[in-house]
Amino acid sequence: MELAHSLLLNEEAYNQLGEVQKAEFIFEWLRYLEKLLLATSRNDVREKQKTLVEQLLSLLNSSPGPPTRKLLAKNLAILYSIGDTFS
């Protein structure tokens, strides 16, 4: 799951996984992202914010389960509190 440890979702690695593995990959990435957002500089977050918001909203629209939705919401809240408050 090292591929899940980055600020942006590694879509290439994600697309190569099966359905169950995709869910695990997303959950792992979201858990890591929560910690990473808090440790990353504000400028770095703002630089990647547009792409990151698009990725998070795309995942939210794919109807994930409750634990993943909770992590998505938490990460979006952190992202908007650290980065720009509008997109």
Q: What is the pLDDT of residue 85?
A: 84
Write down the pLDDT at residue 3.
Answer: 63
pLDDT of residue 2: 62
Q: What is the pLDDT of residue 73?
A: 97
Q: How many structural domains compose the chain?
A: 1
* Domain that includes residue 6, residue range: 2-82
Question: Residue 33: what pLDDT?
Answer: 97
Residue 87 inside a domain? The answer is no
pLDDT at 1: 53
Compute the 3-state secondary structure of the chain and give helix, strand, coil in percent, each to the nearest 5.
75, 0, 25
Q: How confident is the model at residue 87 (pLDDT cuts 50, 70, 90)?
A: low
56 CB contacts (<8 Å, ≥6 apart)? 72, 75, 76, 79
User: Tens digits of per-residue pLDDT, 3-47?
Assistant: 677 899 999 999 999 999 999 999 999 999 999 999 999 999 999
Q: Is 73 part of a structural domain of the chain?
A: yes
